[in-house]
Amino acid sequence: MVPDTGVEAEARALIGAVLELDADIGRALVRAFAAGYLDVPYCLHPDNAGRARSSLGPDGRLHWSDVGSMPIAGLSGGPRPPILGSSGLLGALSHVQWDYDGRAAGTPDLDLDLDLDRTSAAPRELGLTTP
């Protein structure tokens, strides 16, 4: 038996809240984003509220650090992990890339020594800008 992770309850709460906003699903979705009921962590789109945050838990699963205005507060239970800073986000994205994408492509495991906590590096040095 698979343990209840709360994902289904959160999905049902999100869908129900959106459907209550308008009979027309298109208008409901626009209103849901405007109200922050739908919020994608770290998404830069101007229609996204940008208040929700997620992080990787010690078990390697994605957890909500902050649900913002989404109607799912209290559904997953338990304490929320700390909100990721920029270096934590880069580390989480790299974890997925190295542990899953690299193996799927048949590439060997990479042993990279990255100092993800350094704050003095220029964006270009970190590969965060385009030439």
Mean pLDDT rounded to a whole number for the chain: 77
- When pLDDT is cut at 50, 70 and 90, the band that residue 17 belongs to is very high
Residues in the chain: 131
Query: Over 90: is that where the pLDDT of 48 sits?
Result: yes
Q: What is the pTM of this model?
A: 0.62
Q: Which residues are CB-neighbours of 52 under 8 A, at least 6 positions away?
A: 36, 39, 40, 41, 64, 66, 67, 68, 70
Cα angle for residues 107, 111, 114 (degrees, 5° grid)? 125
Q: What pLDDT was estimated at residue 60?
A: 73
Could you read off the pLDDT of 76-110 as tens digits, one per residue? Answer: 666 667 777 778 777 777 876 777 776 555 555 44
